[in-house]
Structure formats: C-alpha cells, structure tokens
Structure 1
Amino acid sequence: MESQDPAVVEAVKASGESNLERATAKAKETFDQLMNVSLNIAVTGKTGSGKSSFVNALRGLNDDDDEAAPTGVIETTEEVIMYERPEMPNVKIWDLPGIGSPNFKANKYLKDVKFDTYDFFIILNSERFMQNDIMLAKEVRKRKKNFYFVRSKIDSDIFAEQRKRGFDEKEVLSRIRGDCQKNLKELGDPKVFLISSFELDKYDFEMLQNTLVEELPIHKKSALLQAWPVCSAECLEKKIRFFERQIWAVCLASAGIAIIPVPGLSAACDASMVSLFFTRCFYAFGLDDRSLSRLSEKVNKPLQEYRAKSKFIEAFLEKIMSKPHACASFTALTISELLLSLFPGVGSVAAAGLSFATTQYLLRQGLSEMANIARKIRKEAELDAVL
C-alpha cells in the first residue's frame, strides 16, 4: 500500500481496488457519477390522468408553485416539456402529452416524443388502463426499456368511498389494483402502483421507488436516490446509507492522493468537492426551505426551527449555500476552520492542508449531523407515527 495512513488503507479497501492509484481513479469516477450521471424520467399516459401533478410531486413542488408544471381539469400538456430539479440539473423529468391527444396519435407516439431520450416510462391513468396504455407498454417493452403503471388520484377514490357504509380502505385499494391488473393481463402480470401525488407518504409511492432502485443500472441508482422525495423514515435511512457509502470516494477524489508521493500523507482537500457532497445531502434529506415549508404546511407545524438548532447546518447555509459561486475557490484551510470549529477534538489542521483522516472525519460528522436533524424533523412531524 502506498501509504500506511489507516484512513487511506480503509478507503482503498472500501473501493474494492488493490492499490491506491486504482482506488483513486475509481473514486474520481464514482464522484463524477454521484454529481453528474443523467437520469431521464418520462411521465406519460391518458389525457387528464394527473401527469403534471405527478411531475411536480417528483420535483418536490406544489401545483401552485411558480416553477410547477401547469395543471388543470383539461389537457394542459400540449408538447414534450422537460423539467429539472433545481438542485440536481442532471435529473430530468419529462412531462409528455397524453397519448391519443390530437397532436400525438398512438400509432406514432414514441417517435414524436423521441423515445430514446428516456431511461424508463411511467404510464399514468386515473381510471382503468385502456388499449392505448397497453399498446404503449408493448412498444416500450419491444424496444427493451422498462415501464411502470401508476394508478393516480387514489386519494380522490378513497375520499369518495369513505361516504359508503362498511368502508374498508384495504378492500378498496385491493379492488382498484385488481381492476387495473385485469385490464393489463395481456402484458403478463405487470405491477400497478397506487399513488396520490399529494400524499406521497401513503399507498405505493415508496414501493415504486424501491422497484426503480432494484431495476435501474447501478450508475443510474445514484441519481434516483438523491432526487427522490423523502416519503418515509425508511426512504430517509436509505438515502443516509447511500451517502455514507460514498464517503471513501469523496475523500480519495478530493485529496488527489495518488499523485502525492509522501508516505503518511498530508494533502490539501478540494473543498469544492466536500461542499458539493454536503449540498447534495442537504437537498436529498429535505432540509432546504422549500421542502421544509411544504412539510410544515402538511402537518401544520413549524419545522424550520429544528434545522436552526444545528450549528453545522446554519454555518453551512451561511458560508456555502449563500455563496454558491464561491464554492469552487474555497481553500482547504477555510473549510477546515468552519467544520473543525463545529466538531472539536479532531486536532489541529496544518496550514498546508487537511490530512486525509481529518477530511474523512469531517465528512462523517457533517453527514451524521444532517441525518440526525432530518430524523428529528420527521419525528416532530409525526408522519411515521400516524402511519
């Protein structure tokens, strides 16, 4: 091993490579995927099925937010429209016109919407799936891409059924699912996900996420796990574990230690990489203003005050998020002073730069602090207790 620093040895082992040079090369590739791998999600289906609301939900927006996809009781999507998550421009959600709408006939739909652009298709319907949906799924399957049937507006169905005597929510959901699958039997036995775009913590939204994670290529899973809205405690924990597994790559990639021939290693940290890592954690855990405001409205509780209890997050917002243009020019000393002041007991940092072990420690502590605040906010919101 090129260095006897235990932290470096640990990171090389985590990489699965046999030496430092190979581990560093893999770290740079892993970090690049973490930040830049593209994911293109196509949302399509019957006119009026709630596609735009679903797109907004995936982006963490309410339908009446300024940046939201337009919604309404009539067809509002007349052309293919691409929406980004502002904090993750590499993840794109495409709101496609309803199949069979005047300008997009079923027999040439996939050509008109540029099929090859998308990684997978989500086919929505707010009622029962019809022949156009089946025809679309067959064409997608023929071209060797995945599709997922989503039965939308489940909250409206449940609300309507609650007025009836002997209402049983499980029975209603089972009946809806069975009816959908009956109409899709010629496709085999495709899964049908029952979803409300306004209540992501209910029904099958998390099951859809789990299925996508299982079936996407490894390099695409990274983008999905970061971008998918936090819909449950299990979803949050999955995100936390994902970022914990990336720490070795951030450390090796940011330190650039493969080209440093000094045994024992004391390397300047590329602070822009560290700040990018924490920025992704911040948004993925739903700690940003928009996510917290939406959650506060849902549970009718002020939740941003819990974020303010974290000195690390407050300093992070002040020093990094408020000056995104300056991130790339941060020096190792600047970020070390910020983080080490919040996590005392690490030891002093030399002016020449951060040691690899210190970088690793700071990443772990910063991630842990963000994760714990996200858990506390979710606990205060009492969402999981209700479920």
Structure 2
Amino acid sequence: MASAEAHLEAEALPPISEGDMNEIRAALEKGDLTAAATKAHEILSNEEKIQLHIAVTGESGSGKSSFINAMRGLQDHEEGAAEIGVMETTMECSPYPHPQHSHVIFWDLPGIGTPDFTPDTYLKQVQFDRYDFFIIISSSRFTYNAATLAEEIQAQGKRFYFVRSKVDQDVSNERRLYDEQGVLKAKGKQATETRPQLFDEMAVLASIRQDCERNLARLGIRSPQVFLVCRDDFSMKYDGPRLLQTFLDDLPSEKKLRFLRPLAITSWEVVRQKKKELMKYVWLKSLASCGASAVPIPGLSTSVDTAILVTSLKEYCRTFGLTEESLQKLAKQVNKPVKELKAIIKSPLDHEITKDVVIKLLTKSLGSAVQYPLVLLKFIPVVWGVIGCLVSAAIAFPSTFFLLRNFLSDAAADAERVLQKALEGTTQKSHMGS
C-alpha cells in the first residue's frame, strides 16, 4: 500500500459546481452507475464547449495580424493565416480560431485611431463584452489612443497587456552600429548609458522597454508592464514565454486548460502546468468510461467505454506535442532530424492510439487497480467513497483511472525529453523556463 501512495499525488478537483458534484454522489449512493457516468460525461462535454476569446488591437500597421498568426502557430503565408499588410487591412472584427484547438479564438480588431474607429466609441463598436482579455500592440511608442483604450478596458473590469512588436528588427538595426567584433563603430559615435561600447542585446531590450514604460507613464498609465516580442520564435524568444505565462496566471480556473492545450511546449513549466490541469479530469473520464456505453473487455473481468479512453489518450498526445505534425514542426524549428526527437519517445503517438492499444494498457493497469483500490479513497474521496462498493465499477473505475493517470504522466515525461533533445546545442535554452 505504501508503494502505491508513493506514486500518487492528491488529485485537485476540476472547476465544476457543487450541484454537479452532489448529483454524482447521489447517483452512486443509489447504486445507479449509469446515471453517475452520464453526469460525468455531461460535465466533460460542457468543458469542451468552453471558449476563450482573445482580442488583439492597436494602431494600424503595428503587427496585429502577424502576432495572431504567431500565437496560432502559423506563418504569415500559410493557409488560414490572418491577412497582413503595410496598410490597415482589418476593417471589421475578424475571428481566427486556433487550427488544432478551435475553442481558442483570436480576434483581429480594427486599428484604433482610424477615422472609422475612434477611442470614444471603439469598445462598443468591437463588442467589448465578447472578449476574455485584450492585447494592445505597438511597433514603436504607445500612443494616447492606446493609453485611453487601456484605461477604459481596466475601468470595465477586464485585463489588458501592452505588447511591443517587431523587437527583432530594432535589435538588428542597433547591431548595424557595431562591427563584426561587436565594437561600436567610429564616425563620431560615442558610447552612452543606453549604447555601450560593446554590443549588448540585453541593454538594447532594456532600453526599448524603459522607453515604452516611460511613455505610457507620461500618458497616465500607472506601473505599465510591457512585453517585448517578435514574429519568429515568438513562444521561445524575448518576452514571449513570459507573456504566455502571464496570460495563463491571470485566467480563471475554468479557462486555464483551454489556453494550455494549444500552447507550444517551450518550457518545463508549461509541461508541468499542462499535466496538472489535465490530471484534474482523470477521475471524471474514468467514471464516464464506466457508463451505459461500457462493454465487456475480452479476457478481463471489467467493462469500459473504450471510445472515451481512445479519445482521452489522443488528447494527451496532442496536448504534449506527441503528433507527427507537431514533431515535424519542432524539428524544423530547431534544425534537427525528426527521427532524433522520435527516438526518445516511449509512449505511442497520436495516430498510434487504437482500441487494441487501450485494451493492452488497460490490462497492465489492472495490477494497480486490484492491488491498491483503497488508496483511491484518500486521493479521490468524492467518488471512491461510494463507488468502491459497486461491484459493476469496483475494478473498471480504478483500472481506467490508473490507465489514464499513468499514460498522462508518461506523455508529460516524453514531452520533457523531447524538449531537452530539441534544445541541445541551441542558443534558445537561455529563453526557456527551468
């Protein structure tokens, strides 16, 4: 028993209502496993319907569309990408769902300050209440319009973030003032506090950030925080990782998983948080798999809905980037053969998950289910306190629980190994969390 507890952590509950929880308890206490499983399935289905709406606004030509494409993992020229241009190309609020996770929707809003969209009517015109938070972008100094918009968003109780785009261009332009050895070129130029004798990228970034913050402070924004980003390697470079983490920290609990699922694996912290949020739903998925659609598994003394389990394992693979498409894209990004990344993966990839694979994994999890069923009483008392006495679920529930839990842990471990391999020999490691 002690060894089982050593491999388990207390399960946090998903953000579901007390009423739904009581309904599950009541059904189980009556011995109605089908009703309890149906309710669990309903809760999971409702969770899948939750949407996250992110508004991206700013002056025309500030890079709104490119930012949206970067957040969606698309190049500007790819099919489905937001249209870009040197002139204002967005004349109405345009939704851009994430290609693989359509519940996350980025909105390309018209540029504020154009004749048709003035600060005093802007929020009403773009349907303010639709969005969960706003991103205000500028490719130079933030203007009075941006500051006015931020104050109005804040006054109406929503969050906003200042994002300074095209920072890589600024760094490149500054670098041209230095020779190949990184020494400031002559021609009358002298080193200053913001332009040292030797090229220092961190000093350039600090100067840009301070300039933006001072400008916003002059416009009346208290303690402004500015995130510096670029189009390429957005999620791994400059303030990209910190911006994504800030979004996540500020989201309400019921929407954290919405944002995490499509988030690229750019740090070990992202892996940890994905695993933590997904783990909250393991017991609900286990309960749902014991419902009316459950069928006997040949050779096993249990009945489960294998379709739910197949869907769940595929979801874990996609969330941790264990798909052909994700691995190919990562390999190209870090300039490594994709076979090197695949070689260290121990779990099946998304396309390899089948009913037969689930049954094989379920057989392996039976050992833990039979040996340590009472351990679940401590870690998921909401369900096990009553489900343990139901003969129809006494083996099926803990079997699926351990299957899902173990596969999720293995997928997270694979994601960490892939990340480690991807970063070997690259300079991007300095931008990553630890």
Given the two structures, how large is their TM-score scaled by the length of structure 2? 0.72
Matched, 1:96 2:109: yes
Other-structure match for 1:58: 71
1:127 deviates by 0.6
- Deviations, residues 211-242 of structure 1 (Å, cap 9, x unaligned): 22222211111211223233323222322232
Other-structure match for 1:356: 397
1:167 deviates by 1.6
Whether the aligned pair in 1 keeps the contact of 2:346 and 2:414 (CA below 8 Å) is no
Other-structure match for 1:341: 360
Q: How does 1:244-323 map to 2 (within 5 A)?
A: 244-256=279-291, 268-303=303-338, 306-307=341-342, 310=345, 312-314=347-349, 316-319=350-353
Percent identity of equivalent pairs: 38
Matched, 1:378 2:382: no
Other-structure match for 1:194: 228
Q: Distance in 1 between matches of 2:421 and 2:12?
A: 35
- Deviations, residues 143-192 of structure 1 (Å, cap 9, x unaligned): 11111111111111112222232221221111111111112111211211
Aligned residues: 355
Q: Distance in 2 between matches of 1:72 and 1:104?
A: 18
SS of equivalent residue, structure 1 residue 313? coil
Q: Distance in 2 between matches of 1:274 and 1:342?
A: 10
Other-structure match for 1:168: 200
SS of equivalent residue, structure 1 residue 83? strand
Please, which moves more after superposition, 201-210 or 25-34? 25-34
Q: Distance in 2 between matches of 1:270 and 1:345?
A: 17
Change in Cα spacing, 1:36 to 1:307, as seen in structure 2 (3 Å) is farther
Whether the aligned pair in 2 keeps the contact of 1:343 and 1:365 (CA below 8 Å) is no
Q: Which has the larger radius of gyration?
A: 2
Whether the aligned pair in 2 keeps the contact of 1:11 and 1:249 (CA below 8 Å) is no
Change in Cα spacing, 1:32 to 1:267, as seen in structure 2 (3 Å) is farther
RMSD: 3.3
Q: Distance in 2 between matches of 1:343 and 1:272?
A: 13
Change in Cα spacing, 1:14 to 1:222, as seen in structure 2 (3 Å) is closer
Q: Distance in 2 between matches of 1:238 and 1:358?
A: 25
Other-structure match for 1:182: 214
Q: Distance in 1 between matches of 2:114 and 2:348?
A: 47
- Deviations, residues 97-142 of structure 1 (Å, cap 9, x unaligned): 2112343233321121111110110101111100010111111112
1:343 deviates by 7.5
Other-structure match for 2:50: 37
Residue of structure 1 aligned with 2:61, choices 48, 65, 72: 48
Change in Cα spacing, 1:281 to 1:190, as seen in structure 2 (3 Å) is farther
* Structure 1: unaligned runs, 5 residues or longer: 1-5, 258-265, 321-334
- Deviations, residues 40-96 of structure 1 (Å, cap 9, x unaligned): 000111111111111111111111211211223332222211011233222111111
Change in Cα spacing, 1:113 to 1:290, as seen in structure 2 (3 Å) is farther
SS of equivalent residue, structure 1 residue 107? coil
1:360 deviates by 1.5
Matched, 1:133 2:146: yes
SS of equivalent residue, structure 2 residue 224? coil
Other-structure match for 1:116: 129
SS of equivalent residue, structure 1 residue 158? helix
Other-structure match for 2:25: 21
Q: Find runs of 4+ consecutive structure 1 residues off by over 6 angstroms.
A: 10-13, 16-20
Matched, 1:230 2:265: yes
Corresponding letter in the other structure for 1:341: K
1:386 deviates by 5.4
* Structure 2: unaligned runs, 5 residues or longer: 15-20, 29-35, 178-183, 185-197, 293-300, 370-391
Change in Cα spacing, 1:90 to 1:115, as seen in structure 2 (3 Å) is same
Other-structure match for 2:251: 216
Change in Cα spacing, 1:204 to 1:94, as seen in structure 2 (3 Å) is same
Corresponding letter in the other structure for 1:167: F
Given the two structures, how large is their TM-score scaled by the length of structure 1? 0.80
1:308 deviates by 7.0
1:249 deviates by 2.6
Change in Cα spacing, 1:191 to 1:358, as seen in structure 2 (3 Å) is same
Q: Distance in 1 between matches of 2:302 and 2:12?
A: 20
Q: Distance in 2 between matches of 1:168 and 1:65?
A: 34
